[in-house]
Amino acid sequence: MDGLSIPADDHPKAETANETGPSGSDLSTLTPPKLSPIAMHGIVGKWIRLLAPQTEADPAALLVQFLVGMGSVIGRHVHIVADGAIHYANLFAVIMGNTSRSRKGTSWAQVKKLLHPVDPRWNIVSGLSSGEGLIHAVRDPIGEDSGITDKRLLVVETEFSRTLMAMRRESNILSTVLRDAWDQGYLNNIVRKDPRCSTNAHISIIGHITEAELQKELQGVDRLNGFANRFLWIHCRRSQLLPHGGSGHKLDLSEIRRELQEVLEFAAHPREFLRDPEADKVWDVVYRRMNEMIPDHTEPILARGESIILRLSLLFAVLDRSELIQIDHLNAAIALWDYCEDSVRYVFGRTPQNRTAERILNALRNSPSGLTRTEISGLFGRHKNSNDQTEALNLLQEKGLARQDKVSTGGRSIERWFAATLTG
């Protein structure tokens, strides 16, 4: 949300959404999203800064999965209310990477290593393919079945494409059950003669998927029916190369775990969280601006931004053991939502023209001396139409990402292109 900054005295700034039109040609569709340091608030920022030099995992993936995990561990005690709807700390998130080398699994392994010892009773399961299976995992008592007492459940699906494919099967109720789990925590299956149900279920979801699989498997109906917009969609990439691995396994995490156990004690007392007056003023402006955004084709995936920001701000406040949601908590939540928004536009918003432009831009950034049109054509093995290349170059020039020079060779001049960020 890059269009507005709202000063809050000496606190960081809260920003609102980038207003992009329906063309999908804004800057965020051409360059990978960047996570603002404002999102690295409190204890999670402390942990990531400690771990970052020792891992190839993306800080954004670490941050989001930590928050999903802690929101799950905290359970169904603390909450915030908006227009009569109660929001707890449970979140859904999908980590999107170009390939297996984006270190999606590495990021989750680091989060699990930190959080699971904080509360060994916490239930983490893998696999997400049926609504009936999800209800069974948090079922109420029925007959001789005593059911599940602890309704906290984190589902980690490292092959989220399988979940999306399963939802397309006839009579599969998973999409509906997940939407109910995010909204209210009451789950049921009215189709079965002996229906199972779950009350006060506290379900959190982490999914991993490649961007190519996501584009293929997330069909139009689930982009539009409210399934997709209950998730934080997070682009991730490998943060660095560590040929010999890192020394993360040698880090002393005992102090951070002790602080997290204190957070659990703080969150064990049921209460409704409110914003302090300063955060209230900022939220008023941010909320209005978010609802004034120009809709584009990514809007259905981002339509619950306000509700997700509320849950994130609640989590940041709880992690600080604060009695109120303060401006820093709201700013951190907004900064993370900014990253999610940019991730969605980067992954879902790139047109074929933009993908061509992105490939050219990457090559220009790796070529300080620039590239000729012939060399640019060579990037595509001479298979890309010359008009497509021209349109992509014009787009880069329009966005201020590239410039061209005419170089005289004694005869006719040669067109040479440069990345604007690498040349003066």
User: Which option is the CATH number for 5-348: 3.40.50, 1.10.287, 2.60.40, 3.30.160?
Assistant: 3.40.50
Residue 265 has pLDDT above 70, yes or no: yes
What's the pLDDT tens digit per position in 96-132?
Answer: 988 767 778 889 999 999 999 999 999 999 989 999 9
Give CA–CA dist 246/20, Å, rounded: 40
Torsion angles phi and psi, residue 320, rounded to 5:
-85, -5
pLDDT tier for residue 420 given thresholds of 50, 70 and 90: confident
Q: pTM, whole model, 2 decimals?
A: 0.80
What's the pLDDT tens digit per position in 21-75?
Answer: 333 345 456 678 999 999 999 999 999 999 988 888 999 999 999 999 999 999 9
Residue 398 has pLDDT above 60, yes or no: yes
For the chain, which residues make up each domain, given as ranges? Answer: 5-348, 352-422
Give CA–CA dist 5/17, Å, rounded: 10
Count of C-beta atoms within a 10 Å radius of residue 254: 9
Give 212-215's long-range contacts (Cβ < 8 A, gap of 24+).
Answer: 212/98, 213/160, 213/161, 214/94, 214/96, 214/160, 214/161, 214/164, 214/347, 215/347, 215/348
What CATH class does 352-422 carry?
Answer: mainly alpha
Q: Taking residues 260-264, what's their average pLDDT?
A: 98
